[in-house]
Amino acid sequence: MRYLWLNSILAVLLFGSCTSVYKGLRPVSGDVNCIQQFRPQFASTLYSTQVNVLRHHLSGLLFFKQMPDSSLRVVFANEMGFKFFDFEFDRQGNFTKHYLLPKMDKKAVVKTLRQDFALVLLQQPMQQAYLAADSHYRYVVIPTEKGNNYYITDSGCTKLERIEKSSVRKPVVKVWMMDYKDGVPDSIRIAHQNFTFNISMKRVEKK
């Protein structure tokens, strides 16, 4: 009896650990491109920003700047002008690292920051995207190599609730872009779920 009880507990744990939080989604019809309305319309936009990366805490100003060639520069520096990173996304979504603080300049950090900002900028391949829904939200599902990216909206695709980058079973990154004004979110928050790597941004109105 004791071994039967232990086996039952192990079966529940194993089954639960393999269950996807997205198992309740069902396919629905509609236009996956409805999420394009939530692509931030950055021209020259400044955010007060806090970054926590493992043991490092950085604070300063993050600047999104649309360049004459339509590429977008993403520059983060402190208020004294000391630069933490300087990235570029071109019109095709190609990424260039112009600078990263040496103590953070690791391949995994660069990849993570690139993927995080690609989620924010909606630079996602839409060819295989499809729609799904649960009882509350609508999901634009974009398959990736190791899971999916989910752009989650209300049922009418009029409000962006959040973005999730997932493994097969659960979200590994969550992104919130809130209080849009003239196509630009007032605040952006990026939170990794498995380790400390968080970015919080609050828009600064230029004088």
> Mind listing the pLDDT tens digit of every residue in the chain (207 residues)?
444 444 443 333 344 446 888 998 999 999 999 999 999 999 999 999 999 987 788 999 999 999 999 999 999 999 888 999 999 999 888 999 999 999 889 999 999 999 999 999 999 989 999 999 999 999 999 999 889 999 999 999 999 999 999 998 899 999 999 999 999 999 999 999 998 899 999 999 876
46's CB contacts (< 8 A; 6+ apart) are 61, 62, 63, 64, 203, 204, 206
Residues 88 and 74: beta-carbon distance below 8 Å: yes
DSSP state of 170: S
Query: Could you tell me where the DSSP H helices lie in 121-171?
Result: none
What CA–CA distance (Å, rounded) separates 123 from 120?
A: 8
What CA–CA distance (Å, rounded) separates 118 from 13?
A: 35
Phi, psi values for residue 92, rounded to 5°: -90, 0
- β-strand partners of 97: 87
- pTM equals 0.87
